[in-house]
Structure 1
């Protein structure tokens, strides 16, 4: 039933106003129509129909126990087949050269007080907008490199883009047998073995010492620096004139997202990128699958990245063979145009 409002202002116009929406859902059909369906409740717990997928226990166990080489192989295959997965891993595992924290080749400059003061000055300069030129390392500022590397000094994995001063503790010397104490007094080489073979055994740490600081074998480290890897060590430079000439001539490298080739971003005017813009597809007309039985051998599409079955697939863009040269030529495109960190 529609409701009418009585005009008490003296206006004789017969204008019927639209009814105001009722707060009672039963009196408001529109509210009832837009109401969200109730969630199913089981055993006192509300069930979310769009809950995130959960790995089964069997799959978790397969991943945890799989050979590392096989796991990497599957990861590469899925990266080629699933662009979203590849881009996600690129964001998580890659960093540009300009984001790599530099390590001074001369380690003495890494752990002295002056180095810390210089680092503080650099941070202050960046806060007020003054950009300091980056020291050259093994890769270009715009080139991508793995975000994680193994430290040459402490042998721990570290993030090359987050490498703070004094994070790495290590020894410059060697671990040597310590005979001056009584640790080896009752040790019999014929019975217990060569003492040197226990160098990395934590139970025998007191029987060794570091040649650099004379501390026991389990000492954390007498030297503290940033972590060091081949990618973050500052390269030696010549005279200022030579450095200026090198800076003018030094190319800035990046890697092309389509053909995966390394190129100079300042020399990218030609159509040097040769690739297939299409996708890999099953070639049903190929004689490669004549004797193929899906029930016996499995789905052929799962072998799209298997080198033994390249003859059974083709490129959708040109229907060319998998090993054929790209059908499109254009300038290289860097990764940064596809995703930004």
Structure 2
């Protein structure tokens, strides 16, 4: 091509470029954009304005991100407390649905069964079946980026019960200490929040009364451990026992939440009303 400009107002050129964009590997697209932006400040501004924005702390971040709750893409500049609809509880097998259709030698919770019989599973946060619309409205929440020695860490699952997959807090020994009953609006607060463990009065439960973290906390060891075996390149899961034994809040024993990357003692990153105890039965019994 000898022309120094490309006219995208013509249908043919536009279609050719759109097709090329859809077929080009992501890494090559990224490299091409960066090379163009470094060559021409006007190109840089176009992509900067389109792809970069300020978050709540005025940090420069990607404008478009993927929500860890609903797995959908979202624009952080239009993200509000009603943007995301999701289920915060566990997916549970409705055993009565499967009693006459279950092979005792095979698993129930399979991809095939979830697709063929979504009514055989329910969410223990609301009692609704697998394919129902989410029961909780919140802001979209981006995936956290945790770093260790300037390297990005991938979030890893923990066996510890967390806010995202909580069991009934009142039945746990490892959860928050039982809150004392207190009167709210002249009535006893006698329902325990599934997320934070506090007692609350259902009649005065507001939309932003509770804040909690939906994944586990990890202790990031950046210095030498007490036994001298840590080389500064390890992660360990946070444990309550460790916290009682070691109140050291120094940078050498930083604790971060895997959901948002905030420090352990900061407030929760998910803001909601207080959440009711988990449901042991579906709202409507299903039959195959």
Given the two structures, how large is their TM-score scaled by the length of structure 2? 0.41
Instruction: Name the structure where helix makes up a greater proportion of residues.
Output: 1
Give the structure, 1 or 2, with the largest relative contact order (CA under 8 Å, sep 6 or more). 2
- Structure with larger Rg: 1
